[in-house]
Structure 1
Amino acid sequence: MNEDLGEPRDYLKLHFLVFVWGFTGALGELIQLPAVEIVLFRSAIASVVLGWIVRKTWRVPAKRALAMLATGCLIGAHWVLFFLAVKVANVSVCMVGIATVSLWTALLEPLMIRHRKLRRMDLIFGVCVIAAVAVIFQSELQYAGGFLIAITAAFAAAVFSILNGRFAATTPHRVISLYEMVGACGFCAACLPLSAFYLSEGRGLDLVPSASDFGWLLVLAVVCTVYAYSEYVSLLKRLSVFTINFANNLEPVYGMILGAILFGDYQTLGVGFYVGATAIAILVLAHTGWSRRKRLPIG
């Protein structure tokens, strides 16, 4: 998709979804399971719920099904890296690293989509976000490992978002989500040995969540995945991948607020973090206004 074709309500829905996704980092902090197990349960629960919702319309051509399952594996990798960054650093730092997704999208879309040209303004906005992230990074060097993991997760997010833009044109959004959640679940199941030996801090596999963990997992799977992720896929029919991913840069702002309220992150974050986060919020609002304005008739 080259241009945004959405109505004002699509932009409002997009920003509401970004607000919902802002809770995912906090949920990753609240859930005591390792990153791989969190995503395994998240995608498994979402697969069951989505399977019931689309039980009469889930069939698609085999080639497309395989492509969506493969994309689901990439989504699983993105989520594992995301929650790993939360565990290694904290909610706010992880979600700021994710903000680089807009630059990755601006660079990768012309390479992955035929006839998609590199838009100068997209690149400028993306570079400005990177500058804001750099301000934060320099002020929080103790979290460098978490930043780098989150930036890698952002790269994966840009790739699967572009791929989803192709599926959205031909397949119902909940069917896409079903196949991708099954793929993510399969990816995490294959990664369980890695989690047991390297990512669980010596606890081994942790496949029996506590009652509180299971409750938060249900929120993560049903609200942040079945609802929010499916609606995100549906918006790809009307809004460009870059616009959606750029709006996602507000996640750090919501994550920062939640991290401050729930976990006291503000006690360990310096002035540079807040300067960069404020700049990101301003850039997202400016890009939303620019995207809408260029579609309006002049005069």
Structure 2
Amino acid sequence: MEDHGEPRDYWKLHFIVFLWGFTGVLGELIDLPSIELVFYRCLLASITLGVILRKKLRVPARRAIAMFATGGVIGLHWVLFFLAVKVANVSVCMVGAATISLWTALLEPLMVRGRVLKRMDLVFGVLVIGAVAIIFQSETQYAVGFAIAIAAAIAAAVFSIINGFFAKHTPHRVITWYELTGACLFCALCLPISAHWLSEGRGLDLMPSAMDWFWIVILAELCTVYAYSEYVSLLKRLSVFTINFANNLEPVYGIILGGIILGDYQHLGAGFYIGTALIALLVLTHTGMSRRKRLTIG
């Protein structure tokens, strides 16, 4: 799929990525294990969308099942994402998430019939990995958190590619409701895992504090209902790779916000800033090249 978006689509995309950059900070601020956190995020978001859409949710049964199943992949992505935040920190998690462009470039030709591996996509994906390596070379104490974040990025690449199919036939908010509901069910099934292995001996933690509820509502309504549904809408006009490559700015925004709100900057070396600057430059370059290509074709 080539890009057919207008300039406002690119601005909207980067605003969505900025909101997603804030989710890592919210994951640190919310004092819940990752599975319970995602469970409440998806539960509130799916209820909100269900009230808004009501009778507009009817779709063919096979497609509904496929979207529910894709929601499980999304739930897995978010659980791994927030787990990486809690095992390491916001900055390390965000850097691992930046590898999504490489996984998209490699997986899309395998998952989409007729999609060939583009040299430009692969080159930019590899360059992002190089920038990540620069960032991570002095942060090996966070290796486990980094590995979890990379697994989250692979899951994100998979569901982004699948959503490219759904976006052609189904309204974006309907897709979002089915997938968020599927993610909520996935997390509900995983609650025993959280109780035994992820809660640090607390068992199930299903009673958020008042402050936790405040942050969960922001996470569910702004960073999920709005941001995720608009992201699905953009899949109608922008390629999966363009969207996922722009997501490489998520660690930049997340690191900046983590530094301002959580003081993460105290633990970051020069390599971290060099790598994030390279990621930002690569994203801007790729976006510019994609737009010029679209204008030339048009």
The count of corresponding residues between Structure 1 and Structure 2 is 297
**Structure 2 partner of 1:277:** 276
What letter corresponds to residue 242 of structure 2 in structure 1?
T
What is the CA distance between 1:297 and its match in structure 2? 3.3
User: What are the ranges of 5 or more consecutive residues in structure 1 without an aligned counterpart?
Assistant: none
What letter corresponds to residue 178 of structure 1 in structure 2?
W
**Structure 2 partner of 1:61:** 60
Q: SS where residue 205 of structure 1 aligns?
A: coil
Q: 1-side partners of 2:155 and 2:133: how far apart?
A: 20
What letter corresponds to residue 19 of structure 1 in structure 2?
F
Q: 2-side partners of 1:295 and 1:233: how far apart?
A: 20
Q: 2-side partners of 1:171 and 1:297: how far apart?
A: 30
**Structure 1 partner of 2:97:** 98
Coordinate RMSD, CA, aligned: 0.8
Q: 1-side partners of 2:46 and 2:290: how far apart?
A: 34
Q: 1-side partners of 2:191 and 2:159: how far apart?
A: 22
**Structure 2 partner of 1:211:** 210
User: What are the ranges of 5 or more consecutive residues in structure 2 without an aligned counterpart?
Assistant: none
**Structure 1 partner of 2:14:** 15
Q: 2-side partners of 1:170 and 1:184: how far apart?
A: 21
1:225-264 aligned at under 5 Å gives the runs 225-264=224-263
1:18-73: CA deviation from partner (whole Å, max 9, x where unpaired): 11111100000000000000000000001100101110210100000000000000
**Structure 1 partner of 2:81:** 82
**Structure 2 partner of 1:167:** 166
**Structure 1 partner of 2:23:** 24
What letter corresponds to residue 178 of structure 2 in structure 1?
Y
Q: 1-side partners of 2:138 and 2:266: how far apart?
A: 14
Identity across aligned pairs (percent)? 74
Q: SS where residue 6 of structure 1 aligns?
A: coil
1:122-156: CA deviation from partner (whole Å, max 9, x where unpaired): 11000000011111121211111111000000000
Q: 1-side partners of 2:174 and 2:89: how far apart?
A: 33
**Structure 2 partner of 1:158:** 157
Which stretch shifts more, 118-127 or 288-297? 288-297
**Structure 2 partner of 1:176:** 175
Q: 2-side partners of 1:138 and 1:270: how far apart?
A: 10
Normalising by structure 2, what TM-score?
A: 0.98
Q: 2-side partners of 1:241 and 1:84: how far apart?
A: 25
CA contact 1:100–1:126 (8 Å) conserved in 2: yes
Normalising by structure 1, what TM-score?
A: 0.98
1:201-229: CA deviation from partner (whole Å, max 9, x where unpaired): 11110001000000100000000000000
Which stretch shifts more, 280-289 or 266-275? 266-275
Q: 2-side partners of 1:143 and 1:209: how far apart?
A: 27
**Structure 2 partner of 1:224:** 223
What letter corresponds to residue 41 of structure 2 in structure 1?
R
